[in-house]
Chains A and B, each alone.
Chain A
Amino acid sequence: MQIDYNYAFFDEGSKREIRRATLKAIAIPGYQVPFASREMPIGRGWGTGGLQLTLSLVGKDDVVKVIDQGSDESVNAVNIKKLIEKTTGISTTDETSEATIIQSRHRIPEVPLKDGQIMVLQVPLPEPLRFYEPSEFETKKLHAEKEYSGAWLMLFEQIMKYGNLATDADHPVMVDDRYVMAPSPIPRFDNSKMNYSEALILLGAGREKKIYAVPPYTKVVSLAFDDYPFEVESFEDNHCKQCGAAGVFMDEIYDDETETTYFQCNDTSYCVARLNHQTV
């Protein structure tokens, strides 16, 4: 059976509604704008928020890159790319610098983003105060009054429990000195890439029906204490086993034949590009 979908899957009205929410989100950096999350051919929680943003924005001249945990080739990334390709006919890429829209789950690419690019992040839990205050009614009031003791309290509890700031991902950030925002589960390593980013960063939560944004050149500060400053993950002196890179976000991989561990770039396209440029 052949079904003719509208360009970019959604009907025009739906896309316009999502874009309106997006514009509002850009106008109020870090503020969570509610939107009518559409039904998708993939399940909620599998990147529908990000995908809806991408589909509402994609035009005939766009080039899309999709990554999942740093990988261009994971099942989720490939399927999202296929859906975009089939319903729009535009091309996709693995090269970060070639893409105009980059949809990502849990990473911001290693190659610095440029002016004009749009970074779309998939968000499972958009509310940074959720574990402190379960009620949405209450957290809305807390945001309105800029009452963020709860965000700091959660970090304080980590220090009491583990002795340091132990958020592995989704470390809360203060956007434009106003709203505390969940940066989606990117590692702390990527938090600093949001600060005065040249590219527009959009965050979409499909299940929670929220869109929020960090406009280009906006101040983004990771929350921390005076005596416990914010620190990114350290990989010490380890280099990527494949391309030899250092100072990037790496995965620690266990080799069960030699029973040793080694490190490898988490951003696969970055690693492959480096390998391709190396002389053999």
Chain B
Amino acid sequence: MSDYETPIMSVKNLSKHFGEGCSNCRDVNENHLIRNFCPDCGTVYACRNVSFDLYPGEVLGIVGESGSGKSTLMRSLYFDQDVTSGEAYLRSYEMGSKNVFEESSQKKRYIRNHLMGKVYQNPMLGLRMGFSSIGNIAEKLIAAGIRHVGEMESKGRELLEYVNIPVYRMKEAPRNFSGGMQQRVQIAKALSNNPPILLLDEVTTGLDLSVQASVLDLIKELQRELNVSIVIVSHDLAVIRMMADRTMVMLDGKVVEHGLTDQVLEDPQDRYTQQLVHSLL
């Protein structure tokens, strides 16, 4: 098999519940749930048996309405929260032999710091607002084990220039930046340790159109140049159409449809996807 045919990350049956579950909903009695919510015990089934593969250099788009489990999926993949059940294997970690969800928290931290980068919708979550921009990038590099100031400074400078943050503002805190700039600092931070996998959670939501375009342009450019694999979550179909090679559609915590982006958007098979595509303004 060639290098491009083995997945860099494969996720199997990822489930995340908020709540204990009860006898009415635990035995996967689908009809009992109201969307993804059990009316008897109040358990929310945020992700239900989500499985997918991510291939090297690929952009995988995930669409779905609010509350469909997109962000929960992303948080689980970045270990921001524990999963209820499921497995994930990373080719770059132990040759894909270990389920990363079952590793110790130190190992998880290692994977986060060395093998992944994440850009959050809200820059408050991804950045330390009170520290300098270059310090924010250094944080990720320090976590990856670098203890050389000169090296970190030049790497940070290079990345910030790459995302068009002017040199004279590098030592300024992201707190003083506009939303678009904060998002670009976040992208620079996520890229600092050359992660093979980049997770983007609604990165352009809330940005104005021209800034949105420049951020997306930047991500596309980075992806081509560095050949990183990207999982991009968005509820904006235009973003998905522009960025993603393949697309997964989520509804109520389940994947209802997946396939090549063009295919999904031009010829939607699932009822929900049809509705979604046709509600595009």
Contact = CB atoms under 8 A, between A and B. Distances in A.
Contact of B152 (A141, A147, A156): A156
B143 interface: yes
Interface stretch (A43-51, A104-112, A222-230): A222-230
Nearest to A223: B147
A276 to B, nearest CB: 46
A160 B171 contact: yes
Interface string B135-151: 10011001100011111
A36 interface: no
Given A156-B152, A161-B171, A228-B149, A145 B105 contact: yes
B279 interface: no
A146 B106 contact: yes
Given A145-B106, A145-B109, A156 B148 contact: no
Chain A interface size band reads 10 to 19
B109 to A, nearest CB: 6
A227 B149 CA distance: 6
A152 interface: yes
A147 B135 CA distance: 17
A261 interface: no
A157 B142 CA distance: 12
A237 B142 CA distance: 37
A156 B106 contact: no
Contacts of B150: 227
Contact of B135 (A141, A160, A226): A160
B128 to A, nearest CB: 8
Interface residues of B, number: 20
Given A160-B171, A226-B148, A228-B149, A152 B131 contact: no
Nearest to B139: A153
Nearest to A157: B135
Interface in B149-205: 149-153, 171
Interface in A115-165: 132, 141, 145-147, 149-150, 152-153, 156-157, 159-161
Q: By DSSP majority rule, is chain A's interface helix, strand, loop, or mixed?
A: helix
Nearest to A145: B106
A166 B171 CA distance: 17
A226 B150 CA distance: 9
Interface in A145-190: 145-147, 149-150, 152-153, 156-157, 159-161
Contacts of A152: 142, 147
A156 B105 contact: no
A153 B135 contact: yes
Contacts of B128: 132, 153
Interface in A204-244: 225-228
A146 B109 CA distance: 10
Interface in B120-139: 128, 131-132, 134-135, 138-139
Nearest to B150: A227
Given A160-B171, A225-B148, A227-B149, A149 B143 contact: yes
Given A145-B109, A225-B149, A226-B148, A156 B142 contact: yes
Contacts of A153: 128, 131, 135, 138-139, 142
Given A153-B139, A157-B131, A225 B147 contact: yes
Nearest to B105: A145
B143 A156 contact: no
Contact of B132 (A157, A226, A227): A157
A225 to B, nearest CB: 5
Contacts of A150: 139
Interface in A9-25: none
B109 A147 contact: yes
A145 B132 CA distance: 25
A144 B152 CA distance: 26
A40 B109 CA distance: 42
A144 to B, nearest CB: 8
A173 to B, nearest CB: 15
Contacts of A225: 147-149
Contacts of A149: 139, 142-143
14 contacts: A145-B105, A150-B139, A152-B142, A153-B131, A153-B135, A153-B142, A156-B135, A156-B138, A159-B149, A160-B135, A161-B132, A226-B147, A226-B148, A227-B148
Interface of B: 105-106, 109, 128, 131-132, 134-135, 138-139, 142-143, 147-153, 171
Given A156-B152, A160-B171, 8 more contacts: A145-B105, A145-B106, A147-B106, A147-B109, A149-B142, A149-B143, A161-B132, A225-B147
A-B interface, 10 closest residue pairs, ranked by CB to CB distance from nearest:
A149-B143, A149-B142, A226-B148, A152-B142, A225-B149, A157-B135, A156-B138, A153-B139, A145-B106, A226-B147
